[in-house]
């Protein structure tokens, strides 16, 4: 038998960085960035696989150091900018690296406000929602995308689901009143690596929430498409939006055995199973 290594990549994942930027007086404000970085490198690394020859291997430990050292040496104000900086570094620095994928997951910190005044250095965190960025550099150039992970939204009206396929596997009745709860995973593709990443994020996130709240939903699918279209409307820096929106069911608890009508007030909260709705919207 002959066997061939037909694809490979390697890198460091889950590198966690906290960077404090101290602004001078008069503000003396601190900005704090908390990033988790995943790096994957492709290139001329087959010798390491086939012969254990590591002379071209940039150790994943060195990649980890690179995250911290470049964070020290460079100014940046978004996860996207940091992802671009790192991905570009690996391809530019090492001839054997032909492709670099860097993903950054930013934990969100909200600045404390006391009596309406922003605190210079205290923050509240704890959300599962994160801002994400992905930059890929390879022979075909540099591409950046941004995103949101873990945006939980729920509405207790304005969502129906009727007239779906009725066959022997169906037991779900048409529902004209249901809870619509989901955790939005979104990625948007920038048309330029020089885009204003922060402006886009600040434009898109509220639009997702607004459309979710206001759209009268005939299907999770329909709301997803409306959200994607609204994001494209909100930022001309992007031309494609991917959305993944699980339908996280609140199942009506059957009150009839206890002498009550089911009146869409009492639900069993579930994590599984979940519907999993996906769509990609492009500007045309």
Residue numbers annotated as active site = 12, 60, 249
26 binding its own copies? (CB under 8 A): no
Using CA atoms, how far apart are residues 269 and 265, in angstroms rounded to an integer?
12
Could you tell me the two tokens for 103?
């993903």
Interface of this chain with its own copies, residues 229 to 248, rule: CB under 8 A: 229, 232-233, 240, 246-247
Phi/psi region, residue 264 (left: phi>0; alpha: psi -120 to 50; beta: rest), is left
**Closer residue to its own copies in complex, CB, 142/279:** 279
Interface of this chain with its own copies, residues 116 to 135, rule: CB under 8 A: 119-129
Binding segment for its own copies (CB under 8 A), chosen from 77-85, 112-120, 186-194, 195-203, is 112-120
**Closer residue to its own copies in complex, CB, 199/213:** 213
Query: CB of 125: closest distance to its own copies in angstroms?
Result: 4
Using CA atoms, how far apart are residues 216 and 159, in angstroms rounded to an integer?
6
Closest Cα partner for 100 from 24, 41, 141, 170?
41
Of 23, 44, 49, 199, the residue at the interface with its own copies (CB under 8 A) is 49
Using CA atoms, how far apart are residues 83 and 88, in angstroms rounded to an integer?
8
- Residue 38, classified by CB atoms within 10 Å of its CB into exposed (0-12), middle (13-18) or buried (19+), is middle
Binding segment for its own copies (CB under 8 A), chosen from 76-84, 138-146, 189-197, 258-266, is 258-266
Closest Cα partner for 179 from 245, 248, 275, 226?
248
Strands 180-190 and 238-247: antiparallel
SS3 130: strand
167 binding its own copies? (CB under 8 A): yes
Binding segment for its own copies (CB under 8 A), chosen from 74-82, 134-142, 192-200, 261-269, is 261-269
Per-residue x/- track, 73-92, its own copies (CB under 8 A) = --------------------
Is-contact 100 39, C-beta < 8 A? Answer: yes
Query: CB of 117: closest distance to its own copies in angstroms?
Result: 11
280 binding its own copies? (CB under 8 A): yes
Query: CB of 36: closest distance to its own copies in angstroms?
Result: 8
Binding segment for its own copies (CB under 8 A), chosen from 2-10, 76-84, 133-141, 194-202, is 2-10
Per-residue x/- track, 176-195, its own copies (CB under 8 A) = ---x---x------------
Could you tell me the two tokens for 8?
């490979």
Query: CB of 44: closest distance to its own copies in angstroms?
Result: 12
Interface of this chain with its own copies, residues 57 to 76, rule: CB under 8 A: 57-66, 68-69, 71-72
Using CA atoms, how far apart are residues 48 and 59, in angstroms rounded to an integer?
11
Query: In this structure, how many other beta carbons lie within 10 angstroms of the beta carbon of residue 177?
Result: 12
């Amino acid at each position: 038998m002959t066997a061939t290594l037909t694809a490979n990549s390697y890198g460091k994942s889950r590198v966690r960085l906290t960077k404090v930027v101290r602004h001078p007086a008069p503000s003396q404000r601190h900005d704090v960035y908390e990033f988790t970085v995943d790096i994957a490198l492709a290139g001329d690394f087959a010798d390491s696989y086939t012969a254990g020859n590591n002379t071209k291997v940039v150790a994943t430990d060195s990649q980890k150091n690179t995250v911290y050292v470049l964070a020290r040496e460079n100014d940046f104000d978004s996860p996207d900018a940091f992802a671009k900086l790192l991905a570009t570094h690996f391809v530019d620095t090492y001839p054997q690296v032909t492709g670099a994928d860097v993903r950054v997951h930013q934990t969100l910190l909200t600045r404390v406000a006391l009596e309406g005044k922003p605190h210079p250095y205290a923050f509240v965190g704890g959300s599962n929602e994160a801002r994400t960025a992905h930059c890929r550099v390879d022979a075909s150039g540099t591409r950046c995308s941004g995103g949101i992970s873990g945006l939980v939204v729920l509405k207790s009206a304005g969502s129906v689901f009727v007239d779906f396929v009725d066959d022997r596997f169906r037991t779900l009745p048409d529902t004209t009143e249901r809870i619509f709860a989901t955790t939005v995973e979104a990625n948007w593709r920038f048309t330029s690596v020089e885009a204003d990443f922060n402006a886009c994020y600040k434009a898109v996130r509220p639009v997702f929430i607004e459309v979710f709240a206001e759209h009268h939903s005939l299907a999770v699918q329909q709301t997803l498409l409306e959200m994607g279209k609204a994001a494209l409307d909100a930022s001309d820096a992007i031309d494609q939006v991917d959305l993944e929106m699980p339908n996280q069911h609140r199942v009506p608890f059957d009150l009839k055995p206890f002498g009550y009508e089911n009146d869409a007030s009492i639900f069993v909260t579930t994590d599984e199973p979940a519907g999993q709705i996906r769509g990609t919207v492009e500007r045309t």
